[in-house]
Amino acid sequence: MKLLKGADVAQKINERVSAEALELAGPLRLAIVRVGERPDDLSYERGVLKRFAALSLRTIVYALPADISQADFAAAFLRVNADPDIHGILLFRPLPAQLDEEWAMRAIDPDKDVDGISPVNLAKVFAGDPTGFAPCTAAAVMEMLAWAEVGLKGREAVVVGRSLVIGKPVSMLLLGEHATVTVCHSRTQNLPAVCRRADVLVACVGKAGLIGADHIRPDAVVIDVGINVDTGGRLTGDVNRHAAENAASLYSPVPGGVGAVTTAVMARHLLRAARRQIKS
């Protein structure tokens, strides 16, 4: 079994972004829009700030109160959206219950939507249009498979999870590489048997340890995307690590896997967004 670590993949992407960003006139700016202070949002924010600073990419945080009204949130969001000095926007979700998340997804400028939440960008992913921004985590899974030279054409891929954040878009990206894709969810019957068919197994359902030894075919490639926190406060994935290490030929764990690549993909999306806006 070989561990597929995200750091090496992210470094390759970051080196290219850093070199190409120097060719643009003026700094690249990402706006992070955060409502409230959820611990997972703050953790993600710190990671983005640190990694973007290392690439000389500017990040501006718009921290809004957790009890903000829809009207005030909309006004603040539209100001960021319209700011010509902002090239990309990252909106932390889920939003508090009093806010209309669907409105925000439709309101965001698709050309600044570096995390692929706009219906325009999602439609492009489903249509196989490369001009759209795919959700960064889904794109990061594909980057890791490409870096490891995992052939997908004609292979069977099983995705456990069907969210618009990861499950559905990564399924479309896998289809785009000519894999045969099965999407599993909470109502899938005999989940272990379905998963055991997989040459490539992507777990992104958000349930700690769901994928065990009876889910993994010997020599399968296993990509864990689940983000969970155990009772001791430690980050853990959807895959039982011991089971994957004993069965998989290639395994990307949590932590240490897709997370770093997700941020690198966002940096690359910011570069693409800036180029598009500077040319227009």
Half-sphere exposure of 130 (CA within 13 A, CB side): 3
Q: Contact, 92 vs 65, CB < 8 A?
A: no
C-alpha span between 82 and 79 (Å, rounded)? 5
Nearby residues of 144 by Cβ (< 8 Å), 6 or more positions away: 4, 6, 9, 223, 252, 257, 258, 261
- 182 pLDDT more than 80: yes
User: According to the model, what pLDDT value does residue 90 have?
Assistant: 98
Average pLDDT, the chain: 95
Residue 1 pLDDT exceeds 90: no
137-145: average pLDDT: 98
State what percent of residues in the chain have pLDDT above 70. Answer: 100
Overall fold of domain 136-259: Rossmann fold (3.40.50)
Instruction: Name the β-bridge partners of 107.
Output: none
CA distance 185 to 159: 9
To the nearest 10 degrees (0 to 180), the angle between helices 136-147 and 167-176 is 40
206-249 tens-digit pLDDT: 999 999 999 999 999 999 999 888 888 788 999 999 999 999 99
Mean pLDDT for 248-256 is 96
DSSP string of 49-73, one letter each residue: HHHHHHTT-EEEEEEE-TT--HHHH
Q: Decide if 24-112 and 136-259 have a common fold.
A: yes
Confidence of residue 280 (pLDDT cuts 50, 70, 90): low
pLDDT above 80 (res 279): no
Query: What is the tens place of the pLDDT at every residue in 17-55?
Result: 999 988 887 889 999 999 999 988 898 899 999 999 999
Provide the whole-model pTM.
0.94
Percentage of residues of the chain with pLDDT beyond 90: 89
Please report, for the chain, the start and end positions of each structural domain, with discontinuous segments joined by +. Answer: 24-112, 136-259
Q: What's the mean pLDDT in 70-89? A: 97
Give the pLDDT band of residue 148 (cuts 50, 70, 90).
Answer: very high
What does the pLDDT read at residue 87?
97
Which CATH number applies to 24-112: 3.90.960.10, 3.40.50.10860, 3.20.20.140, 1.10.260.40? 3.40.50.10860
In this prediction, residues 95-117 reach a mean pLDDT of 98
Among 119-133, 164-178, 222-236, 251-265, where is mean pLDDT lowest?
222-236
